[in-house]
Amino acid sequence: MEPLSTRPVVTELRLSAFAAHRGGAFPLGPVTLFAGPSGSGKSSVLRAYEALAALAAGAELAEVFPEPACCVPESARGDAQGRRGFRIGCTVSGPAGPVRLDLAVQAEPELRIAGERLTCGDRVLLSTALRDPGRGHVQAAWHTGGAAAVTRAPFPGELLGTALLPLRVAGRTDGQRQVLAAAEQMVVALRSVFPCDPQPSRMRAPVRPGDGRLLPGCDNLAAVLHRTRHECARRHARLTSMARAGCAGTVSGVGTEELADGLVRAVIDRSESEGADSGAGTPLGRLGDGELRFLAMALVLLTGPGVLSVDQAAEVPGALQSLTVVADGFDRCLDPGQAAGLAALAASICAEGHLRLVGAVSGDGAFARELEGVAVVDLCRDGTGREDTATTAGGVRRGP
């Protein structure tokens, strides 16, 4: 296994002014669960993470923020031109050192990037600023370190500048190579995200085998089990063990059944002998919502990047990447025992370094607080990240 330091990972998420959060800075470990009642801002934290991931993968602002006004802090006042916006960012640790990205987005009157800054230590590697609101671009400046200390050029106002740097920087000088290393580290860490929210209502019907890559809603759970049950006996044995702990009754196996019409359905074997024909088992469609979500999340954690439907950086070896599962409602429909078992599995898997988990849980997350390797952030109790309603966001800054 590669040392963790060789894998770029997001180690901090910042919501400087985003939805209900102001001045939020959240350290992220191998497993980080955000807790709190409805309205505490858990989903907003995950939404900001997913937004940064999508932008790093090259998505346009309008695609990432279809309702940008909802991201602006409620108490934020516009400037003289009526402009309001929000600010988010993150830090990625890896071979290039801790690299920080800060992004200011103008949401009103029109959606566009107002400013971006990429830094490593005390050095600003990239900065962009909205100089002329009448134009569709921002002015970018990045570190060169050669005869000219800085290179300047216009960047599109709807794309993340950091993701564009590998296409713009030649890498001829030490300074340019530092810029490229930092940008690539940021992009690799951010784009390797699998948003997961199992939907039991979509998991009950038989499906076609397909390519065996698990979808974010786990609609094709049966197809993935059909592929993976023979690929790794140890991994499948762990899934069966999880099914025993999280499903009612006696469980001796988890498998699939091929139907006459070419479809497959997932089944749980409730026979007394291990390894009996799973075709005689109970279809997963008969299980409760909690059991289905439990099994789906366990499969996500046990399968990893090779099975999950995620677009990782193809130019970077898999051993040097770490996939982050983002799970809103991690414990939704689960009883405390199921939630604790799933969190313990996450801690065990994520300790190996190739997978990380950022999730939101209901209540105070008590089921996971005593687990080694799991950090629970209570947004209400800790008092971090929530907006101070007596303070305004003061509009959008023109630079990060």
Residue 235 CB partners (closer than 8 Å, separation 6+): 228, 302, 303
For residue 39, what pLDDT is reported? Answer: 87
383: closest CA among 25, 11, 18, 13? 25
Q: What is the pTM of this model?
A: 0.88
Residue 198 CB partners (closer than 8 Å, separation 6+): 217, 218, 221, 292, 293, 296, 297
300: closest CA among 226, 221, 189? 221
Alpha helices in 57-102 (DSSP H): 61-64
Interior/surface letters 241-255, b for 16+ CB within 10 angstroms, e for the rest: ebbebbbeeebbbbb
For residue 309, what pLDDT is reported? Answer: 60
C-alpha 13/C-alpha 92 separation (Å) is 9
For residue 55, what pLDDT is reported? Answer: 97
| 208 neighbors 301 (Cβ within 8 angstroms) | no
Q: How far is CA 398 from the centre of its chain?
A: 27
For residue 387, what pLDDT is reported? Answer: 39
Q: How far is CA 292 from CA 91, 209, 224, 286, in A?
A: 35, 19, 14, 9
Torsion from C-alpha of 226, 53, 350, 201, nearest 10 degrees: -40
Element (H, E) at 340: helix 336-350
Q: Which residue has the tokens 């702990």?
A: 245
CA angle, corner 53, sides to 50 and 55, nearest 5?
A: 110
Tens-place pLDDT, residues 142-170: 998 777 788 999 999 999 999 999 988 98
Grouped pLDDT means (10 residues each) for the chain, 400 residues? 67 96 95 93 96 96 96 84 92 96 95 96 94 84 83 94 92 92 94 92 90 89 88 88 91 91 91 50 91 95 76 49 89 95 96 93 92 93 44 34
For residue 114, what pLDDT is reported? Answer: 94
For residue 195, what pLDDT is reported? Answer: 92
